[in-house]
Chains A and B, each alone.
Chain A
Amino acid sequence: MAETGTGAPLLEASELRKVFRVRNRAARGREEAVAVDGVSFRLERGGALAVVGGSGSGKTTTARMVVGLEAPTSGTVRVEGEDWSHRRPTARERRRRGSVVQMVFQDPYSSLDRRQSVRGCLEEALALHGAGRSGRPAARRRADALLDRVGLAPAHGGLRPGALSGGQRQRVAIARALAADPRLLVLDEAVAALDVSIQAQVLNLLADIRADTGLALLFVTHDLAAARHLCDRVLVMDGGRVAEQGPTDDVLAAPRAACTRRLIESLPRPGWTPRRSIGRADPSAAPSTDPSAGGPGGGPHVPHPTGIPDPGRTAP
């Protein structure tokens, strides 16, 4: 959905480059590891861009540079036209940026403070973004509203992360990100650590939120099926460079880069089947896959329109 925003795009990365200096004791010196090498892309308001690649392709480093957790070695990140790539923002500056861009991390187990209740976590995030002191009724109401937004009950608010499942924790992480009312949500492999069926639920939740609020998504993943479900544009990375980018359907239908084809072929077939096969062993699941799907036959590699179970129809 290339809806052209007024003036500058929401996010514009140009020629991003990140070099990590690695100490190498054996070689008696420093080695340089180029993680990201000249990556450029833009993301319009309300858009959804998937950054796809195998491990070590630099996609996570790219996402971390976008949110400011890593400073680019060279190149710029512009958010709403403003250059964000200068180093070391103050807390006040981070708070201002946080109200524009938020992030959900890969590991739902370590991305929440294990000694803080869910409500405490949300109220703290709300308080940082001008929703009043935590513990007040207003903050409590807003925290409950956030819980509701991500499909959790107010009763979950009193629990600590240890009492929640992985999927529930990731919902809390999403709620915490939404507390800042951002315009862009960066998801770093945000569903990779979850069970397949839970992945689908969380992806559906994200799709719903995007549809309701016009929240833009930068979705870092190695899973093309998930990317296809959530994003209208895809950027494929390989070895720190952009292999190709374009509308998701076009890229999947006619991949130009070899690494894109590899990613498509690496998709686990059961993940491509509709949800009804997810339950107990469904004999039709495995053979239903077109044997030519991975081949060069062009055409749709994807038997199901989204490659992922239907959004609305959940609950087996």
Chain B
Amino acid sequence: MSAIHAERVPAVRGALRRAAARDPLLAAAGCVAALAVAAAVAAPLIAPYDPAGVDQLEVFGPPSAAHWLGTDDLGRDVLSRIIHGARPTLAGPALVVLVSGVLGTALGVAAAWFGGRTDAVLSRALEVVLAFPGLVLAVIAAAVLGTGFAAPVVVLSIAYVPVLARVVRAAAIREAHLPYVEALRLQGASGPTICLRHLLPNLAPLILVQSTVGFGYALLDLAAVNFLGLGLQPPAAEWGLMIADGRSAVLGGHPGQALFPAAAVVAVVVSVNVLGERLADRFGLVEA
């Protein structure tokens, strides 16, 4: 086992080093994203402390060997809370992107394919949804549905549909007017066959890039919702909520509690945007 590792590690390391030398920004973004995902997946294994473990003797501890990022107003380990907080912080936008991606793609392709009245009705409906900022909808949802993890995710999933649907629709219209689609029609291929077997694979790179960028926005929006106290409630560990909790401590001379989760949000959002941009370059897309 260790022998295999000993041979492989230098090879992997060499490949990574070459990749990093070619595009250091992409390499850094990839590392941040991978770290965040690893933290979310393996939080209980990685986190040195219980994220809810209160220790009154260690309130506002500075970064130290025992607590790398210090402790917060209740003496909880900030690093452990960031690691555990990665779960809801990343799962929320992932769900938003997944749900709005499926719905947006379906509606966009349908509008493009059927055209005419269907397109007009769908497009106007999407514009109506688009007219409401996602955050405003999330606030209304909190009032109607109450706080928690699910309500803002559901509402943002719907709020994000038009963004993707409109981009997909425009690309699908372009695609559907290519002669190969006419050739398929002349062959007698059915509409669903053409859409699923030909349009979707050709739209996939665009959808992937849009979803990547959308993930960053959704993360920011959900963190904001939680920051405003309309989503998850204390003592849950979530980055937006942690920033809110640490707000008052900043003025008290203990910025760490708010600063480190804020840095985590910024790092992940910037990384995700870099990844999206590089993907768009890779697929030859001009980012919308």
Give bound CA distance, A124 to B196, whole Å: 13
What is the size, in residues, of chain A's interface with B at 8 Å between Cβ atoms? Answer: 33
From residue B114, how far is it (CB to closest CB) to chain A in Å? 12
Which of A100-108, A205-213, A240-248, A265-273 binds B?
A100-108
Residue-wise interface mask of B (180-204) relative to A, using a CB-CB cutoff of 8 A (1 in contact, 0 not) = 1011111111110000011001100
From residue B183, how far is it (CB to closest CB) to chain A in Å? 6
Which of A6-14, A33-41, A109-117 binds B?
A109-117
- Give the most central of B187, B191, B201: most A CB within 10 Å: B187
The SS class assigned to the B binding surface is helix
Across-interface contacts of A96 in B (CB, < 8 A): 188
Across-interface contacts of B201 in A (CB, < 8 A): 115-116
Q: Which of B185, B190, B191, B202 contacts A113 (CB 8 A)?
A: B202
Give bound CA distance, A180 to B197, whole Å: 19
B179: interface (CB < 8 Å): yes
A67: interface (CB < 8 Å): yes
Across-interface contacts of B198 in A (CB, < 8 A): 113, 115-116
Q: Which residue of A lies closest to B181 (CB)?
A: A113
Restricting to A58-75, which residues have a CB under 8 Å from any CB of B?
Answer: 67-69
Restricting to A167-210, which residues have a CB under 8 Å from any CB of B?
Answer: 173, 176-177, 179-180
Across-interface contacts of A114 in B (CB, < 8 A): 202
From residue B113, how far is it (CB to closest CB) to chain A in Å? 13
A307: interface (CB < 8 Å): no
Across-interface contacts of B183 in A (CB, < 8 A): 103, 105, 111, 173, 176-177
Q: Which residue of B lies closest to A180 (CB)?
A: B187
On whether A124 and B202 interact (CB within 8 A), knowing A103-B183, A110-B179, A111-B179, the answer reads: no
User: Is B187 in contact with A95, judged by CB distance below 8 angstroms?
Assistant: yes
User: Is B180 in contact with A110, judged by CB distance below 8 angstroms?
Assistant: yes
Across-interface contacts of B190 in A (CB, < 8 A): 91
A259: interface (CB < 8 Å): no
A98: interface (CB < 8 Å): yes
B6: interface (CB < 8 Å): no
- Give the most central of A68, A92, A110: most B CB within 10 Å: A110
Give bound CA distance, A121 to B83, whole Å: 49
Q: Which residue of B lies closest to A108 (CB)?
A: B179
Q: Which of B179, B184, B191, B202 contacts A107 (CB 8 A)?
A: B179
User: Is B186 in contact with A115, judged by CB distance below 8 angstroms?
Assistant: no
From residue A186, how far is it (CB to closest CB) to chain B in Å? 9
B178: interface (CB < 8 Å): yes
Across-interface contacts of B182 in A (CB, < 8 A): 69, 103, 105
User: Is B179 in contact with A105, judged by CB distance below 8 angstroms?
Assistant: yes
User: Is B186 in contact with A67, judged by CB distance below 8 angstroms?
Assistant: yes
Residue-wise interface mask of A (65-101) relative to B, using a CB-CB cutoff of 8 A (1 in contact, 0 not) = 0011100000000000000000000011011111101
Give bound CA distance, A90 to B63, whole Å: 70
Across-interface contacts of A94 in B (CB, < 8 A): 185-188
Across-interface contacts of A107 in B (CB, < 8 A): 179
Restricting to B161-215, which residues have a CB under 8 Å from any CB of A?
Answer: 178-180, 182-191, 197-198, 201-202
From residue A70, how far is it (CB to closest CB) to chain B in Å? 10
Across-interface contacts of B178 in A (CB, < 8 A): 110-111
User: Is A98 in contact with B186, judged by CB distance below 8 angstroms?
Assistant: yes
A128: interface (CB < 8 Å): yes
Give bound CA distance, A179 to B201, whole Å: 23
User: Is A125 in contact with B179, judged by CB distance below 8 angstroms?
Assistant: no
Q: Which residue of B lies closest to A68 (CB)?
A: B186
On whether A92 and B186 interact (CB within 8 A), knowing A113-B180, A115-B202, the answer reads: no
User: Is B189 in contact with A91, judged by CB distance below 8 angstroms?
Assistant: yes
Across-interface contacts of B202 in A (CB, < 8 A): 113-115
User: Is A98 in contact with B180, judged by CB distance below 8 angstroms?
Assistant: no
Across-interface contacts of B179 in A (CB, < 8 A): 105-107, 110-111
User: Is A91 in contact with B188, judged by CB distance below 8 angstroms?
Assistant: yes
From residue A146, how far is it (CB to closest CB) to chain B in Å? 13
Across-interface contacts of A106 in B (CB, < 8 A): 179
Give bound CA distance, A97 to B189, whole Å: 12
Q: Which residue of B lies closest to A186 (CB)?
A: B186
Q: Which residue of A lies closest to B199 (CB)?
A: A113
From residue A106, how far is it (CB to closest CB) to chain B in Å? 8
Q: Which residue of A lies closest to B188 (CB)?
A: A95
Give bound CA distance, A243 to B202, whole Å: 43
From residue B286, how far is it (CB to closest CB) to chain A in Å? 18
Across-interface contacts of A67 in B (CB, < 8 A): 186
Across-interface contacts of A125 in B (CB, < 8 A): 187
Across-interface contacts of A177 in B (CB, < 8 A): 183
Q: Which residue of B lies closest to A94 (CB)?
A: B188
Q: Which residue of A lies closest to B200 (CB)?
A: A115
A sample of 6 inter-chain contacts (CB < 8 A) reads A68-B186, A95-B188, A98-B186, A106-B179, A115-B198, A115-B201
